[in-house]
Structure 1
C-alpha cells in the first residue's frame, strides 16, 4: 500500500461565472468544517514508523556526553541519531544564515533545541525511548537581553561568525543593524514646539496555529525520499534539506499536505530534515507529529522588542522629526531576523510625512527562543510604538487624535524615510475618516430587561462584575505594511496552466508550488483561470516541487505574485488557443468566431455557451500547456549607513477603531468592537478579503490583551508552552469586526490588487491599547496588557 490521506486535486465548478471580483466559496471549506480534509498529521503509510525528537532541558550549556544505549535497546526502536550520525558535512541550515544545527553539537543555545531523534514502531515507544537518552550538560550563563548580549565580556552565542552581516555590526551578538537616516533629526528637533518620548515593550507572541508541525517522509527506490509536509515554502525547504541528506534536489520530492495555519511559523524548518534522516536510515516511512508542548519549541515566534521613540511637532500640529531605536530579540538563531530588522526600521516612522528621521533597528542573538517571521513581520512592533506616540503628541498639541493623524498622513507621492516615493494610492487620511464615521456600538450592551448578559462584560462568563466600575474607551490606530519580499530579493513565482477538453467540457488545470495555508489562494487561482480563459471548470493540482518555486506564503505576497504568475500563464495559454483556433477554423466557424471575439476582447463570460462550445471545437483531443514565471518590479538593498533605497515594492494600509470596556477595579478588559477600514486595491474575492481582515484583526487583539510567551529572565526557559497558559482569543473574546473595504488600484500589480493579510494585524493592537488608555487614563507602554497593569496590584 502507498501513502493515504495525500493531497487530492481540487476541482472547482460552478454554474455562475465565478471569476475575479466575486465571492466564490472555498473549495476546501466544506471538507474542513466537516472534518474530512486531510491535514499533514493525517498522513499514513503501511509499515510506518514514528519519529520523536529529544530536546534540551536547558537554554545554554555545553554537551558533555550523550548516551543512547538504553534507547536503542528498547524493543520497537529502529534508529537513534545524534549529530555524529548525520550523513554529510552539511550539518546546519537556515533561511538566510545557515547557523541552525540539524541536531545540537558541542552545546545547546536555547531551551528545547533538538539534540537527538528516534524512530520506533509506535509513537509512545518513540517517546519512551527518547526519554531514556542520557545527556550530560555543563550549564553556561544565559544571554537574555541587550545588556548581557553586548557587554564587552559577553559570551558569544555563535563563536566564529562569518556571515555577511558581521562586518557592519558592533558586536558578534548583534545579528543585523539597519539605520534609516534622512534629513537632520537633531536640528529639526530644535524647531519643535512639543516633544514627546516613550519607552515601549512588545512581548513575544506565538503564531498559535492549530495544526501542529507534522509530516511523512517515504524512502524511494531511487535512493531519494518523498516528503509530505505542512510548510509555507516548499522550495526553500528543499534548498535546505537536500544538502544535509547528501542528495540532489531532484531526489527530494516534496508535496504540500494540509496546513492547519501558519502565520510565519512554518517558514523555518521543523521536523522536515529529521523525518527524512530517519526514513533514509531505516528504509521505512517515518511520520512525525508534534504535540502542543513540542510545537511551542519547534517553530520561531514573533520578536519581542524594546522601542525608544521621540517625536516633535509644531503648534499647528505638523510633525517635525523622529528619533527611534528598535531592539529586537532574535533568540538563539538568525531565522528571518535580518529581514525583520529591515522592515522595522524602514517602516518605523509609520504612514506619516516626517522629513527628518533617525531610526536604528537591531536584532540580537540571545539564548531566548528563536524568533523569525510572524504576520506583520517587524512592522507590528514599530506600529505599536509610533501610534502610542501619535496619541501623546496629539494631546500635547491639543488636537483631536484622528485629526492629528490626518494632518500628517502620507499620500501618493510622499517620500518615505528611505527616500522611496509612494507611487500608488496611500489613502491614510481617508481610511481614518471612514473608520471614525462608522456608528459606535450602543452603550451598556450588557443591560437588558431580563438582567445582565455577563458575556458582554469584562470577565465574561466568569461572572466577576455586573457593570460596577466598568468604563468605556475608544481608540484609533493606522499602520503601513510592505507587500512582497524586499531589499533586492528576486521575488517571483511560477505557474503551470493546461487547457483541455474533459467529458465534453473545456477544463483548465492550474499547478503551482504555492502553499495554501488558509489564505484562500486556491480559490483565487481558479477565479483567475475562469476570468482569463472563459472556462467554468478549473482543477487545482496539489502543490509540490515538480513545478517551479512559488516563493513563500508570507509577506502578503501570494495573490500578488503567484496570482500574477497564474494570470500570466493563462494569458499565454489563451494566445496559444487563439492561434490554434485561427489555424483550424479561421473566422468561418460560428461558435469559434464568437469565442475568439470574447477571448481577444478580454470580456470573458464564463457561462456563455459560445465560448465553451468554441473552446471544445478548437481543442478537440489536444491540450495547451504553459509554465511561466512572473516577477514584480525589482527592489534594492537599503544602504547600510543611511537606509536609503527602493526597498519595497508595494504598501498596504489599514486603520482601526477599538471600543473597549474596562473594569478598572479588577483590571479586566472586554473589547466590544474593532472596526476596520482597509484599502485592498482590488477585492478579487470580497468574502475572502473580509475574512483575512477579520482574522488579522483578531490576531492583533490577542497581542493586545492576552498573548505572550513568558521566558524566565534568569534561565531563559519558556514557562508557558501550552494553550492552558498561553492564551489566544476564542469566539467569546472576539468582538464585532465591521469592515469598510476601499478599492484604489495599484497600477503596478495584477488587477490593481494589494496584499491584505498583514496590515490589519498592525493597527488592531495599538487601537485596543489606545482605547484602554482612553478608558483608564494610564500610560500603558507595554503589550500585552495584564490586569496588574490596570490596577497597580
Structure 2
C-alpha cells in the first residue's frame, strides 16, 4: 500500500496517541476473530419466546382465506397473528414510499412475502405451528419485466395507489423515472467519427452478510417496547415501527445489537415490527432469528438492470455524446428504488467529460423479489455498462484503453450532465496512471519447477480440472464515479453527544451517537477524532441507541463524513467550553490563558508553543462538560424531473482497478489473479481500515463479475437459489492479490478533507474483471455474472 498526496493539516491533538491518521486497531476486532463478539442472534432473555414468520409460497396470488386454528391449538404456542390482528390503523411501512404491508392483506406480491406470525416457547415449535396455518391462495399472473409491467393491459402490482411519483412516470408499474438531458445528443452524434452501442444485463446480487436478520423485543411496564436489533439506521426503523404499533416514538426504545454485516440489506425493516407485535401481544420477550433460507427472502437485493448505451467519439479520441436508457427491476415494493434511479441516471456518464447527453433511468414494480440498497447502488450497474463502452470505443479507434480514458477524464472544475460543477479534486487520469504502473503479477504462477503444479493458482482451483492447457491471460481496466452521502435535497445530518469529565483524577471522554457499526469501523474513527480534538487518550464509545439524536444510515459512504463531522463539531464545542472553564479557574495565574492559542494535548492544556498551563483533570474536577449537537454537510437539491438538472450530490469518490485474469477457454473457468486498485480517499483517517474497505468492496465487485446472482424463474417469479449452497460467493481461495495505492487529495468541504471510501471500489472492480476476460477471450460478454457457458458457447 502507498499513501501519497496533500492531506489536510491537523492542528489539534497531533501528539495524542491514537488520533486520526494512525492505524489504530478496532476495539471489536479481537472479539470478532475469536468468536467472542455478541451478535444480535446471540441475545437471550429470561422467559423468552421465539417468533417465526410464515411466508408466501407464491409470487402473486389472492389470499382467499387464512385458518390459524390448528396453529393456535399447538402446545407451546402463545400467539398467532395475521393482518387482521394489527393494532393500528397504520398497516404499511417503507423507506420512502409506505407501500409495504406489515403482513400481506388481500394478496401477496412476491415469493416469500410475510403472511402470518407465530410466537412459541421453542423455535421448532413456532416453525411447526406455522406450517399448520392453512392459506387458500388463488394464483395470479406475474409481472416480471418491463414488457409485462408496462403493457396496455398490464396487471397493476399496486392497484388503486396514487403516490407522489405518479405524475412523472408513464405507467403505474413504474416506481420512479429520472431523465437527464444536456446539450443536443442527436446533433453531436451526427458529428461523431465513431459510434458504438451496446445492451448490457446486470444480475440480481445479494448482500450475503454473514449474520442473518435477528433481534429481541422486550415489552416494558409503560406499555412500550425495547427493541435490540441489528440494523443500519435506528431512527429510520423507529419512524416506521412506532405508527404500526400504535405507539408514540418515545415508547419504542431501540438499541443497536451486534451487526454481522449489512451492505445495504439492513436499511429496510425485516423482523423489527414482527418481534414487537408478538412481544406486545404476549407480554413476553420475543426473539426472532432468520435462518439462511429466510434471510434471502427477508431483505432487499441489488437491482438487476438492463442498460442500453450509445457513445460517439472523434477520430482523435474525444467523446462527442452519450445516450443511455437504464431499466432497474425494483420488485414488489419501492424500498430505495427512487434513490437508486437518481444515482443510476446522474452517474451514468461516469468520470468522463461529455457535453451532450440524453439519459433516462426508471425502476419497475414487478412480482420479483424487492430490491433496494446495496453497496454503490445505481452507480454499480451504470459503471459496468459505460466502462464496457469505453473499451469498445478505444478498440474502434485503435487506442490504448487507459490512454483513451485519460484523454476524456473529468477533473476538478468539470461540469457534470446535471449542471453540477465538481469542486474538489477529481484525479481520474492520475488514478488510471497509478494502477497501470503497478508491477504485473508473474506469468504462469501455477508452474513450480521440479514439483507438481499448484492447482490453486489455476482456473478451477482445487477442483483440479486443468493443468494449464488452454489457459489464456487477460488484463482489463476500469474506473468509476460514486457519490458520497444522501443526495437530491435530503436533509442529511448526524448527531453526536460528547461528554468530558474527570474520573479517578484522569480526563475521560464518552462519545454517544446512534451510528450503526456494521463493520465499517466507525467506532474506531470516532475515538480517533475525539483523541485528536480533545487531546485525551481515554475515549469510550457509548452503545448506539435512540436516546441520542439520529445519525442517519450507515450507507452511501457517509458515516465518517457526516457522523464523524458531528463528533468533530461536538468535540470542538466541548473544547471551547473546557477552555472557558480553565480561563475562569486558572486564567489569573498565567497571561497565556488570555493571549495564546490554547490546545488540549496529552490530557493537558498547552499553548501553541507547548507550554503546559493546567491538567485537564484539574479543570474538570468540579464540573463535567456534556454537549449534543447536530451537524449537516452543505445542502443538495432535487434533480429537475424533466431535465435532470440540479446540484444533487455532496461529494464524489473515484477508484480505478486493473484486473489480471487467467481463463481456461475450453472449460469456461476463470481465475482472477490480481485486482490492483488506486483510490483517492481525501484523507485516510485510519489507513488500515481504509485499505480494508477498499479490498472488501473490490471482492464484492469480483463476486458479481463471475459468480453471484439470485436466479428468479421468469415464469413464476420464484427464487430458485436461496441458499449459500446455490448462491455462490467468493471464498479466500477465490480472492486474488489486491495491491492498493491510496491517494490523499483533500476535499476542502469535508471534515479533515476526507472522502467516502467504501463504495467506489465496488464499482470499478466488476467491469475491470469483465474487461480482462474479454481481453483473454475476444468475446463481447455483456452480462454479469459471467458463467462458463458464456465462455465456451455451450
TM-score, structure 2 as length reference: 0.97
Distance (whole Å) between structure 1 residues aligned to residue 583 and residue 682 of structure 2? 36
Specify whether residues 393 and 290 from structure 1 end up closer, same or farther in structure 2 by C-alpha distance, changes over 3 A only: same
What SS does structure 1 have at the residue aligned with 2:601? helix
Q: For the Cα contact (< 8 Å) 1:228–1:255, is it kept in 2?
A: yes
What is the CA distance between 1:451 and its match in structure 2?
Answer: 2.1
Q: For the Cα contact (< 8 Å) 1:435–1:676, is it kept in 2?
A: yes
Q: For the Cα contact (< 8 Å) 1:2–1:45, is it kept in 2?
A: no
Q: For the Cα contact (< 8 Å) 1:591–1:610, is it kept in 2?
A: no
Specify whether residues 508 and 792 from structure 1 end up closer, same or farther in structure 2 by C-alpha distance, changes over 3 A only: same
Per-residue deviation, residues 408-460 of structure 1 (Å, max 9, x unmatched): 00000000000100000000000000000000000000004312100000000
Q: Choose 279-288 or 156-165, whichever is displaced more.
A: 156-165
Q: For the Cα contact (< 8 Å) 1:534–1:612, is it kept in 2?
A: no
The question of 1:3 aligning with 2:18 is answered no
What SS does structure 2 have at the residue aligned with 1:653? strand
Q: For the Cα contact (< 8 Å) 1:3–1:45, is it kept in 2?
A: no
Distance (whole Å) between structure 1 residues aligned to residue 356 and residue 192 of structure 2? 12
Q: For the Cα contact (< 8 Å) 1:11–1:537, is it kept in 2?
A: no
What is the CA distance between 1:264 and its match in structure 2?
Answer: 0.2
Per-residue deviation, residues 706-763 of structure 1 (Å, max 9, x unmatched): 0000000000000000000001110000000000000000000000000010000000
Specify whether residues 5 and 737 from structure 1 end up closer, same or farther in structure 2 by C-alpha distance, changes over 3 A only: closer
Specify whether residues 216 and 399 from structure 1 end up closer, same or farther in structure 2 by C-alpha distance, changes over 3 A only: same
Distance (whole Å) between structure 1 residues aligned to residue 144 and residue 260 of structure 2? 32
What is the CA distance between 1:608 and its match in structure 2?
Answer: 13
What SS does structure 2 have at the residue aligned with 1:479? strand
Specify whether residues 288 and 595 from structure 1 end up closer, same or farther in structure 2 by C-alpha distance, changes over 3 A only: farther
Distance (whole Å) between structure 2 residues aligned to residue 363 and residue 616 of structure 1? 57
Q: For the Cα contact (< 8 Å) 1:5–1:38, is it kept in 2?
A: no
What is the CA distance between 1:163 and its match in structure 2?
Answer: 1.2
Q: For the Cα contact (< 8 Å) 2:536–2:603, is it kept in 1?
A: no
What is the CA distance between 1:4 and its match in structure 2?
Answer: 46
Per-residue deviation, residues 460-514 of structure 1 (Å, max 9, x unmatched): 0000011000000000000000000000000000000000011221111000000
Per-residue deviation, residues 243-279 of structure 1 (Å, max 9, x unmatched): 0000000000000000000000000000000000000
Q: For the Cα contact (< 8 Å) 2:211–2:261, is it kept in 1?
A: yes
Structure 2 counterparts to residues 313-712 of structure 1, below 5 A:
313-447=313-447, 448-586=449-587, 588=589, 597-599=598-600, 614-712=615-713
What is the CA distance between 1:315 and its match in structure 2?
Answer: 0.1
What SS does structure 2 have at the residue aligned with 1:307? strand
What is the CA distance between 1:613 and its match in structure 2?
Answer: 5.8
Q: For the Cα contact (< 8 Å) 1:150–1:173, is it kept in 2?
A: yes
Q: For the Cα contact (< 8 Å) 1:3–1:43, is it kept in 2?
A: no
Q: For the Cα contact (< 8 Å) 1:431–1:655, is it kept in 2?
A: yes
What SS does structure 2 have at the residue aligned with 1:612? strand
Distance (whole Å) between structure 1 residues aligned to residue 364 and residue 321 of structure 2? 27
Distance (whole Å) between structure 1 residues aligned to residue 721 and residue 10 of structure 2? 39
Gaps of 5+ in 1: none
Q: For the Cα contact (< 8 Å) 1:10–1:539, is it kept in 2?
A: no
Specify whether residues 64 and 629 from structure 1 end up closer, same or farther in structure 2 by C-alpha distance, changes over 3 A only: same
Q: Choose 476-485 or 612-621, whichever is displaced more.
A: 612-621
Per-residue deviation, residues 311-346 of structure 1 (Å, max 9, x unmatched): 000000000000000000000000000000000000
Q: For the Cα contact (< 8 Å) 2:8–2:746, is it kept in 1?
A: no
Specify whether residues 13 and 455 from structure 1 end up closer, same or farther in structure 2 by C-alpha distance, changes over 3 A only: farther
What is the CA distance between 1:13 and its match in structure 2?
Answer: 15
Distance (whole Å) between structure 2 residues aligned to residue 315 and residue 5 of structure 1? 35
Per-residue deviation, residues 586-609 of structure 1 (Å, max 9, x unmatched): 052699899973339999999999
Q: For the Cα contact (< 8 Å) 2:218–2:286, is it kept in 1?
A: yes
Structure 2 counterparts to residues 218-237 of structure 1, below 5 A:
218-237=218-237
Distance (whole Å) between structure 1 residues aligned to residue 199 and residue 598 of structure 2? 63
Q: For the Cα contact (< 8 Å) 1:505–1:612, is it kept in 2?
A: no
Q: Choose 429-438 or 3-12, whichever is displaced more.
A: 3-12
Per-residue deviation, residues 683-718 of structure 1 (Å, max 9, x unmatched): 000000000000000000000000000000000000
What is the CA distance between 1:537 and its match in structure 2?
Answer: 0.4
Gaps of 5+ in 2: none
Distance (whole Å) between structure 1 residues aligned to residue 83 and residue 426 of structure 2? 51
Per-residue deviation, residues 131-174 of structure 1 (Å, max 9, x unmatched): 11011100000000000000000000001122110111000000
What SS does structure 2 have at the residue aligned with 1:531? helix
Per-residue deviation, residues 182-240 of structure 1 (Å, max 9, x unmatched): 00000000000000000000000000000000000000000000000000000000000
Distance (whole Å) between structure 2 residues aligned to residue 217 and residue 3 of structure 1? 45
Distance (whole Å) between structure 2 residues aligned to residue 652 and residue 618 of structure 1? 42
Q: For the Cα contact (< 8 Å) 1:514–1:543, is it kept in 2?
A: yes
What is the CA distance between 1:669 and its match in structure 2?
Answer: 0.2
Specify whether residues 706 and 348 from structure 1 end up closer, same or farther in structure 2 by C-alpha distance, changes over 3 A only: same
TM-score, structure 1 as length reference: 0.97
Per-residue deviation, residues 599-640 of structure 1 (Å, max 9, x unmatched): 399999999998796101111142001100000000000000
What is the CA distance between 1:125 and its match in structure 2?
Answer: 0.3
Distance (whole Å) between structure 1 residues aligned to residue 8 and residue 122 of structure 2? 27
Q: For the Cα contact (< 8 Å) 2:198–2:310, is it kept in 1?
A: yes
Specify whether residues 179 and 94 from structure 1 end up closer, same or farther in structure 2 by C-alpha distance, changes over 3 A only: same
Specify whether residues 434 and 587 from structure 1 end up closer, same or farther in structure 2 by C-alpha distance, changes over 3 A only: farther
What is the CA distance between 1:379 and its match in structure 2?
Answer: 0.2
Q: How many residues align?
A: 793
Q: For the Cα contact (< 8 Å) 2:697–2:761, is it kept in 1?
A: yes
2:161 aligns with 161
2:201 aligns with 201
What SS does structure 2 have at the residue aligned with 1:729? coil
Q: RMSD in angstroms over aligned alpha carbons?
A: 5.0
Q: For the Cα contact (< 8 Å) 1:488–1:636, is it kept in 2?
A: yes
Q: For the Cα contact (< 8 Å) 1:535–1:612, is it kept in 2?
A: no
Per-residue deviation, residues 641-661 of structure 1 (Å, max 9, x unmatched): 000000001000000000000
Q: For the Cα contact (< 8 Å) 1:500–1:624, is it kept in 2?
A: yes
Distance (whole Å) between structure 2 residues aligned to residue 187 and residue 316 of structure 1? 19
Per-residue deviation, residues 347-374 of structure 1 (Å, max 9, x unmatched): 0000000000000000000000000000
What SS does structure 1 have at the residue aligned with 2:385? helix
Distance (whole Å) between structure 2 residues aligned to residue 658 and residue 12 of structure 1? 41
Specify whether residues 610 and 449 from structure 1 end up closer, same or farther in structure 2 by C-alpha distance, changes over 3 A only: farther
Distance (whole Å) between structure 1 residues aligned to residue 65 and residue 433 of structure 2? 64
Per-residue deviation, residues 373-394 of structure 1 (Å, max 9, x unmatched): 0000100000000000000000
Q: For the Cα contact (< 8 Å) 1:680–1:743, is it kept in 2?
A: yes
Q: For the Cα contact (< 8 Å) 2:574–2:627, is it kept in 1?
A: yes
Distance (whole Å) between structure 2 residues aligned to residue 530 and residue 210 of structure 1? 32
Specify whether residues 322 and 15 from structure 1 end up closer, same or farther in structure 2 by C-alpha distance, changes over 3 A only: closer
Distance (whole Å) between structure 1 residues aligned to residue 525 and residue 134 of structure 2? 51
Specify whether residues 514 and 376 from structure 1 end up closer, same or farther in structure 2 by C-alpha distance, changes over 3 A only: same
What is the CA distance between 1:110 and its match in structure 2?
Answer: 0.1
Per-residue deviation, residues 563-608 of structure 1 (Å, max 9, x unmatched): 0000000000000000000000105269989997333999999999
Per-residue deviation, residues 85-132 of structure 1 (Å, max 9, x unmatched): 000110000000000000000000000000000000000000000111
Distance (whole Å) between structure 2 residues aligned to residue 6 and residue 501 of structure 1? 37
Q: For the Cα contact (< 8 Å) 1:497–1:510, is it kept in 2?
A: yes
